Structure 1
């Protein structure tokens, strides 16, 4: 039987919802984070971190809440957008992928606690993000955006090669940061007691 969510779970989930909103629009807040014309958004970083830090259950719940908050109209998606119409956007697949990213990264580190495991989990999360998001984008352009002479599948993946290096670096950083937090904060003292509290 699943344990009920504790106040600390709800607090941390809410914190990651806020971090996702900030990560989606970080270049509006910090324009210097556009490098070579490529915006260094932090959504994937925070989705990976949510799974690594909160675990599969609470991490994926946080991502579900983030998606729902945006779908009801709160401007938490990129370019301060929101609303149900975003479902038809080519990038909506990436938003959906964040739920799976948090779930699977969390599952891995719930079982394995080494530094390599955290990094591998983060990179698997990134792969899930790219797979779901890129395929949604491709089918969006092919079927309901009716782009003339629909883009080849390999072109859709070619577009993703531009942000890939920074996402790999950020995912590795997420793995290292989460492991550090696990060793120094999450499994120690008062925080651990809060997680166990009824």
Structure 2
């Protein structure tokens, strides 16, 4: 007797992954029209907000996949990184660690939300701050090592963190905002996914 295996990705999953990959591209370049909104060649962006939101709403698996898809699209040549850059070089630049951190962030955030069968606002808040901490830890340390090891730029470790302090207020505000709006969207997505699963089984 032959068995029919369940599809690994449903249409709704692919839609959400694509949507967040697109949001990351938008978030990376929202301030590209204003070159003065930069510190150490790193532009202000909405990417931390969307990366955390991906983990909150899509979970660890799909959230991390959406961030990976975003990174791969940029590496393949689409101008989706900050300042409409693309290719491999941005990964090895000062902000490359942040691109990599978004994958880990979405995964960790998603895991925290998934640890509760019915996550409350407190869970979303804890997950969100775990996410922004992950972004800053990976991104800032990567920036420090990138500048000092292969970009031929002398930057002290304390200086690297001082640079990122310029972004902290904005990111903390958006982290709180994301945690506050996430619960209602989360339950809407869950209902949509549940309906999609029922339709898939019935077809």
TM-score, normalised to structure 2's length?
A: 0.86
The question of whether the paired residues in 1 share the 8 Å contact of 2:91 and 2:99 is answered with no
The question of whether the paired residues in 2 share the 8 Å contact of 1:90 and 1:137 is answered with yes
Displacement of 1:68 in angstroms is: 0.4
In the alignment, structure 1 segments of 5+ residues that lack a partner are none
In the alignment, structure 2 segments of 5+ residues that lack a partner are 1-5
CA distance in 2: counterparts of 1:131 and 1:178, whole angstroms: 23
Displacement of 1:175 in angstroms is: 1.1
Displacement of 1:182 in angstroms is: 2.2
Structure-2 residue corresponding to 1:163: 167
CA distance in 1: counterparts of 2:44 and 2:181, whole angstroms: 18
Structure-1 residue corresponding to 2:63: 59
The question of whether the paired residues in 2 share the 8 Å contact of 1:8 and 1:195 is answered with no
Q: Report which of the two structures shows the higher radius of gyration computed on alpha carbons.
A: 2
Q: Deviations over 1:112-151 (max 9, x none)?
A: 301011011011100000000000100011110122xx22
Instruction: Spell out the pairing of 1:139-150 with structure 2 (5 A cutoff).
Output: 139-147=145-153, 150=154
Structure-1 residue corresponding to 2:143: 137
Alignment root-mean-square deviation, CA: 2.2
SS at match of 1:161: helix
Runs of 4+ in 1 over 4 A off after TM superposition: none
CA distance in 1: counterparts of 2:170 and 2:197, whole angstroms: 33
Displacement of 1:178 in angstroms is: 1.2
CA distance in 1: counterparts of 2:186 and 2:172, whole angstroms: 21
The question of whether the paired residues in 1 share the 8 Å contact of 2:52 and 2:132 is answered with yes
In the superposition, relative to structure 1, how do residues 195 and 46 fare at CA in structure 2: closer, same or farther (>3 Å)? farther
The question of whether the paired residues in 1 share the 8 Å contact of 2:98 and 2:135 is answered with yes
Structure-2 residue corresponding to 1:114: 120
Aligned residues: 190
